[in-house]
Amino acid sequence: MHYETDRGPVKAVDGVSFTVNRGERFGMVGESGCGKSTIAMTILQLLRDPARIVTGRILFDGVDLLRLSERDLRRLRWRSISLVPQGAMNALNPVARVRDQIGDAIVVHDSEVSPRLLSERIVDLLSAVGLPERTAELFPHELSGGMKQRVCIAMAIALNPRLIIADEPTSALDVVVQRVVAQTLSEAVERLGASLILIGHDMGLQAQLVDRLVVMYAGRVAEIGSVREIFKAPTHPYTQMLIASLPSLRERRRLRTIPGLPPALLDAPPGCLFHPRCRHAGQVCSRVVPELRSVNGSAHVAACHLFEEIAGR
Amino acid sequence: MTALLEVREVTKRFGGGLFDKRQLTALERFSLTVPSDRAIVTAVAGESGSGKTTLARLILGILSPTEGQILFKGRDLRHMTGGERREFRRQVQAIFQDPYEVYNPFYRVDHVFDMVIGNFGLASGPEEAKQLKSEAVEVVGLRPDDVLGKFPHELSGGQRQRVMVARAFLARPRLIVADEPVSMVDASLRALILDVMLHLRDDYGISFLYITHDLSTAFQVSDDICILYQGTVAEVGPISGPIREPKHPYTQLLVGSIPLPDPDDTWQGRVDLPPDDRWSSADVGCRYRARCPFAMPHCAEASPPLYEVGANHFASCYLYEGRPEFATVAVVAT
């Protein structure tokens, strides 16, 4: 996915491939600007100019979403793939009751539903996200941040989708509220038997919630592995530094920092995009773009020329 | 010895107008001491509505206490002369959460430095001003050429936040009040900015009041911590006390809710959303009792004092009744 600009294309997402299995909770992490949210918008094809999908395929149950008509896409969005967008709770309509907001999300995609069934469905959805029935009659300003975010989750699961994409669903919430909302989301996904793509930069939250995750760097995949592989045996130097920069509660130590900044994508360096910040970088790193390679023949993959050597050091 | 800053049993209430007598107590009988003979980082942690931002504003002199006193080098903020007030404003600086809001997009980054230099007459000429700016920028790990002379939009988020730290440093303060300085940045930048804080503490003798909702970063950088709950001190002590051995049920909930970056150490049990009713001056008893799994009839009758639960470690909870008790405890570095 490129953004066309006067100064040439910005490769916001460049050659990214990953698979999300049925019923799996899949995390997507990386610094701001690494392409996480862009991937979500690409899957749903909610991109606007100057964004352009250049090549690739997005297979959902074997169907390439990039070849569907806008009409078919519209049927698929929300019914099959739903989104909890970033800052969703601030996007609730301030002058509509919770009942009507959830109701609209259902009616737009399923106009046949009877008013009585709709009412029952709304109450069911609210209880699925742990909100009392009376919440339906309230306006967004009468809800706390955690309650608003749960309403957004209720809307996302309203049509029993098979995939839910949640973009930073708990940012700007207090730690206890964050925990409640995260667990609500996780349980809702499990009850539906749906898959989840959890986008966020909070590594702690990912460790708590997902089964597998992809680490993105500057629009490319750095590493994909199970949550244990990524946290216990990070292989790409970027993932290693990211893990080392996290504060722990076990020991007090100076946090490792990652020197330098992510590259400007208009003026990206040749070879591995991380090499200017990597302390292991060798000559090959500044010349050749690394492919994703398997770590020890497993499904754990990393895009680094030197990971065997680094592990041996 | 006179402390650098002393907050003495400060209470701040809002509201209570002619028609509505109910007042919101944002902070109640809060005490804190920042020593003058050494630099420390004191964390003040709590959720939204805990009173932590009210405390920051009281200390910066933006708000006045309803009761109690705030003393800077022994002088009450309310009774300072013009000269003393200027000196106070130089020696106590602030860093805020959102590095985007502080900049005027039409001025170069230098403007935020020039204002400080001008306000406090720090430089005798443009040459000296330039030198001060370069120095301040280097202290926070930036290259002067990368930021000076640029417009705010040309800087990255991490550069912008570090420039804010550099601006605070420029006046060579004794204390920096940092209100959620890293809550809007990525993990690697967060580590970088916290590292700068420790560098300023250790090498320039600058104390910090680190106001945050993030207990794990507080644990990494702070010497002491005070956990606020709806304007009252729930627990206070040297950093490892409340974090490693939390005694107050609220602190236990907070520590247990931190999403640890370890898939083998996941959240245990279930929690509920907190009730969103605010405390008014008419209410009595422990403010946490509505959420507390250990609540006793006792808790509704009077608010608990602070009980000594360890070395310099205090918790405001009747579970520890019988231990030595105190009406108020100043957060003091040990």
Is B198's pLDDT higher than 90?
A: yes
- % of chain B beyond a pLDDT of 90: 65
Lowest-confidence pick of A247-256, B39-48, B172-181, B261-270: A247-256
Residue A110 banded pLDDT, cuts 50, 70, 90: confident
B320 DSSP 8-state letter? G
* Confidence class for position A266, pLDDT limits 50, 70, 90: confident
Of B187, B257, B271, the CB nearest to A201: B187
Predicted confidence band of residue B290 (pLDDT cuts 50, 70, 90) = confident
Those of residues 192-221 in A touching chain B at CB distance below 8 A are 201-208
| pLDDT number for residue A31 | 84
- The answer to whether B213 faces chain A, any CB pair under 8 Å, is yes
Q: Which two tokens stand for residue A293?
A: 């390679």
Decide which of B280 and A47 is more confident: A47
> Who has greater pLDDT, B184 or A150?
A150
Inside any domain, residue B274: no
Judged against a pLDDT cut of 60, whether residue B27 lies above it is answered with yes
- What confidence score (pLDDT) does residue B74 get? 93
- Chains A & B: contacts with CB separation below 8 Å: 126
Rounded distance, CA A68 to CA A45, Å? 10
Residue B179 β-bridge partners: B211
pLDDT at B99: 65
B142 versus B281: the higher-pLDDT residue is B142
Residue B204 lies in a domain: yes
**Does the CB of B276 have a partner CB in chain A at under 8 Å?**
yes
Amino acid at B21: K
3-class secondary structure for A132-178? CHHHHHCCHHHCCHHHHHHHHHHHHCCCCCCEEEEECCCCCCCHHHH
Furthest CA-CA distance within chain A:
68
Smallest CA-to-CA distance from A162 within A69, A36, A61, A46 is with A61
pLDDT for A256 beyond 90? no
Tell me: pLDDT of A168 over 70. yes
CB spacing of A207 vs B270 below 8 angstroms: no
- The neighbouring-strand residues paired with B178 are B95, B210
Q: Which two tokens stand for residue A22?
A: 């049925």
B243 to chain A: nearest residue by CA? A249
What's at B242, amino acid-wise? P
DSSP A247-284: --SS---PPP---S-PPPGGGPPSS-TTGGG-TT--TG
Give A180 or B1, the one with higher predicted confidence: A180
Q: Indicate the pLDDT class of residue B177, thresholds 50, 70 and 90.
A: very high
Share of chain A above pLDDT 90, in %: 53
Task: Flag if A254 and B198 touch (Cβ within 8 Å).
Answer: yes
Residue of A nearest to B183 (CA): A172
Q: What is the pLDDT of residue B281?
A: 61
Boundaries of every domain in chain A: 234-313
The pairing of strands A212-217 and A220-226 is antiparallel
CATH of the domain at B90: 3.40.50.300
Q: Is B334 inside a domain boundary? A: no
Dihedral sign (CA B257, B259, B261, B266): positive
> Distance between CA atoms of B165 and B102, rounded to whole angstroms?
12
**β-pair partners for B132:** none
Contacts of A96 (CB under 8 A, 6+ apart): A104, A139
**Whether the predicted pLDDT of B334 surpasses 60:** no
CB-based contacts of B62: which residues, under 8 Å, 6+ apart?
none
Q: Residue B280 pLDDT > 80, yes or no? A: no
Instruction: Scan residues 64-123 of A and list those with Cβ closer than 8 Å to B.
Output: none
Specify the number of domains making up chain B.
Answer: 1
Burial of residue A220 (number of CB atoms within 10 Å: 0-12, 13-18, 19+): buried
Q: Can you spell out the DSSP letters for A169-203?
A: TTTTS-HHHHHHHHHHHHHHHHHHT-EEEEE-S-H
Helix/strand/coil percent split, chain A, to 5: 40, 15, 45
Tokens of A238: 């970027």
Token couple for B187: 């993990």
pTM over 0.95: no
Whether the complex's predicted ipTM surpasses the cut of 0.90: no
Please report the pLDDT score of residue B331 as a whole number.
64
DSSP per-residue string spanning B249-281: HHHHHHHHHS--S-TTS---S---PPP-PPPBT
The pLDDT of residue A265 is: 79
Does the residue B220 lie in any domain? yes
All residues of chain B having their beta carbon less than 8 Å from the beta carbon of residue A243 are 261
pLDDT by residue (tens digit) across B105-130? 889 999 999 999 999 999 899 999 99
Residue A164, CB-side half-sphere exposure with 13 Å CA sphere? 29
CB B112 within 8 A of CB B163: yes
Q: Taking all residues of chain A, what is their mean pLDDT, rounded to a whole number?
A: 90
Helix and strand totals (H; E) in chain A: 10, 13
CA distance B266 to chain A (A): 5
pLDDT of residue A239: 95
Q: Rounded mean pLDDT of A146-153? A: 90
Mean pLDDT of B241-251: 95
| Sequence-ordered list of residues with C-beta below 8 angstroms from that of A72, at least 6 positions apart, any chain | none
Mean of the pLDDT values across residues B208-232?
A: 93
Residue B277: pLDDT band (50, 70, 90) is low
Residues of chain B with C-beta less than 8 angstroms from the C-beta of A177: 47, 273-274
3-state secondary structure of B80: coil
In terms of residue numbers, what domain contains B221? 5-262+280-326
Interior/surface letters B94-119, b for 16+ CB within 10 angstroms, e for the rest: bbbbebeeebeeeebbbebbbebbee
Residue A140 touches chain B, beta carbons under 8 Å = no
Work out the average pLDDT over B221-245. Answer: 94
pLDDT at position B71 is 95
pLDDT of A91: 82
Mean pLDDT of A29-39: 87
For B239, the closest chain A residue by CA position comes to: A252
Whether A192 shows a pLDDT value over 60: the answer reads yes
Say yes or no: B253 contacts chain A, CB-CB below 8 A. yes
Please name the residue of chain A whose CA is at the shortest distance from the CA of residue B263.
A207
* B292 has a pLDDT exceeding 70: yes
A11-31: pLDDT as tens digits: 888 889 999 999 999 999 988
CA dist A125 and A123 (Å) reads 5
Q: Is the peptide bond before A259 cis (omega within 30 degrees of 0)?
A: no
Query: Distances in Å between the alpha carbon of B242 and those of A293, B9, B270, B305?
Result: 45, 21, 22, 17
pLDDT at A104 over 70: yes
Q: Give the pLDDT confidence score for residue A155 in this predicted structure.
A: 92
Q: Which of B211, B225, B273, B291 to mutate to test the interface with A (most CBs of A within 10 A)?
A: B273
The pLDDT value recorded for residue B35 is: 93
Contacts of B197 in chain A (CB under 8 A): none
For range B161-186, the mean pLDDT: 89
Quick: pLDDT tens for B131-154.
999 999 999 988 999 899 999 888
For residue B33, the model assigns a pLDDT of 92
Find the mean pLDDT for residues B51-68.
93
Rounded CA separation B60/B40 (Å): 18
Q: Which of A246, A265, A278 should one mutate to test binding to chain B, selecting the residue with the greatest count of B CBs within 10 A? A: A246
Residues from chain A that touch B277, judged by Cβ atoms under 8 A, are none
Residues from chain A that touch B254, judged by Cβ atoms under 8 A, are 175-176
Q: Quick one: closest CA in B to A131, which residue? A: B273
Query: Which residue in chain B has the smallest CA separation from A207?
Result: B263
